[in-house]
Amino acid sequence: MRFIQSFVPPKPKSTSSGIIPALRGLTRLQWAQFLSGWIAWTYDALDFFSVALTVNLLSKQFGQQVSAITTAITLTLLFRSLGAVIFGVLSDRFGRKWPLVCNLLLCSSLSLGTSFVTTFPQFLAVRSLFGIAMGGVWGLASSTALENLPVELRGLGSGIVQQGYALGYLIAAIINLTIVPHSPHSWRCLFWTASSVSFTTAVVRACIPESAVFLRAKAIEREKDSSTAQKTKIFLRETKEMLKTHWKLCIYAVLLMAGFNFMSHGSQDLYPTYLESSKGFSSHSATIATIIGNCGAISGGAIAGYTSQHIGRRLTIVICVLLVGSFIPLWILPTSFAGLAAGAFCVQFGVQGAWGVIPIQLAEMSPPAFRATFPGVAYQLGNMISAASAQIEATGAKHIRKTVIVDGKPTSVADYATVQGIFIGVVAAFVIVVTILGPENHSSHFEQHKTAFEEGGGRDDAILEEEEEESVGQGTPSIMEVEGKRSGV
């Protein structure tokens, strides 16, 4: 009992109003900022999973084996770290708005480019570049969505934002189920869709004002008449101070995210291939099972994110990962569609339930002034470490095989069930241990902290002065005031 109580955080500082009043109190602008971050991550995931859903089609298109096609997934994951550094630094230095807009436009261009490649080397090159663009989106999208919400809603908001990933997968699966089989352009339709919605999301984000904390900081710097060069110099100095203070925390966050990414990619990237190759299902049935699994993921993320607001971030993660382990037999043993689909729902409920806590856990754990760079880079370095998940499983399935009866004849097929069962089980155990050993800063008021380009922003105690804090409030009043002053209203 004491062990469990050690995970339960003290009562949050500002949850007296409750979640329902907090929801009712959200302004249109806060809703718009939250939804812009959520939509950005959703449609970024749509593009990423377009490759996972069409591995067999791509294999035929380019005359390559499945393990070779998964190289594209690996390269995308490897290059995401570079994008997280580039766009995270730009976001913490210049604000959330325009770096995210540029990031989404780059995603749109590369998605479109993917749809027109004609050779396998071209495909790998474009997917590598897409990895850079994709790497920047998560940190910017999650910080945009969460820092404009009141503290009471950040747990729920975290779960909803993160499940944009599962929703993007679900949308890609629906397109793959309904349009791709009937289109003469086959798999290319998925990337056309991803390109168009990323472009639309960029336009929408461009029409929504900057986060309140950055408007406040920029207004103060204008009053001080600070030049761009001075602010950049301060930013670099505060970044150095942050790294010197928090290097152990950086290593911990990367290890945590490596485990989480191994768990999600190990259970998602080759799931359709697993059902088709090892269980003998059609592409149509595999896609439907993927949709069912993602319904579990979406519900798990929202429920776990909300729950974490009351019982704590780490305890929620541990409970969800224990659910994953308990449902591994249902993931791999059934032979019927109903059994396997139920296994997919339950395992993804646990996997993405744990993931639903991650955006707010990383944001609260982060050095406050670097809550775009720190979570984004930790996430994507973890992705880089886990980049070979699909290839590990594909290679393992080459060597671990089983005999099944196909058309009355015994046939040797890749045993993805055994490979994925072992893989997910080992990773789940690792995630539980790392989570238990880590910190928790439940209901942190990181929006009250100075930005990274303000003097002292790299210190954890660099809180706004009382009069500055009041000007930030919950976000909307200060935005309207600052924007009004800038436009002369």
- The CA distance from 332 to 417, in Å, is 5
Q: What is the Cβ-side half-sphere exposure of residue 367, based on CA atoms within 13 angstroms?
A: 28
* Helix, coil or strand: residue 475: coil
pLDDT tens for the chain, 489 residues long, are 444 445 545 444 444 456 778 888 888 888 998 999 899 989 888 888 888 888 888 988 998 887 788 888 888 888 888 888 899 888 877 888 999 999 999 999 999 999 999 999 999 999 999 999 988 898 888 888 888 888 888 888 888 988 888 888 889 888 888 888 888 888 898 899 889 989 999 999 999 988 877 777 677 667 666 666 776 777 777 777 777 888 899 899 999 999 999 999 889 888 888 888 888 888 889 889 988 998 999 999 989 999 998 899 999 999 999 999 999 999 999 989 999 999 999 999 999 999 999 988 988 888 877 777 788 888 888 988 988 888 888 888 888 887 766 666 777 778 888 899 999 999 999 999 999 999 888 767 666 666 666 666 666 665 655 444 444 444 434 433 433 343 333
**pLDDT score recorded for residue 487:** 37
Q: What is the DSSP string of 436-468?
A: HHS---TT--GGGBPPTTSTTTTSTT-BPPHHH
**pLDDT score recorded for residue 257:** 94
**pLDDT score recorded for residue 483:** 38
Residues 6+ apart with CB under 8 A from 133: 83, 103, 106, 107, 110
Torsion angle, alpha carbons of 22, 26, 31, 37, to 10: -50
Rounded to a whole number of angstroms, the distance between the first and last alpha carbons of the chain is 58
Question: CB of 451 within 8 A of CB of 92?
Answer: yes
Phi-psi region of 410 (alpha: psi -120 to 50; beta: other; left: phi over 0): beta
Q: What is the Cβ-side half-sphere exposure of residue 247, based on CA atoms within 13 angstroms?
A: 4
State the DSSP code for 410.
Answer: E
Domain residue limits, the chain: 27-215+228-437
The answer as to CATH 3.40.50.2300 being correct for domain 27-215+228-437 is no
**pLDDT score recorded for residue 467:** 46
Phi-psi region of 168 (alpha: psi -120 to 50; beta: other; left: phi over 0): alpha
State the DSSP code for 10.
Answer: P
Cβ count near 470 (within 10 Å):
11
Residue 449: Cβ-neighbour burial (10 angstroms; 0-12, 13-18, 19+)? buried
**pLDDT score recorded for residue 458:** 60
Crossing angle of helices 28-53 and 55-62, rounded to 10°: 50
**pLDDT score recorded for residue 453:** 63
- The CA distance from 131 to 79, in Å, is 5
pTM (two decimals): 0.76
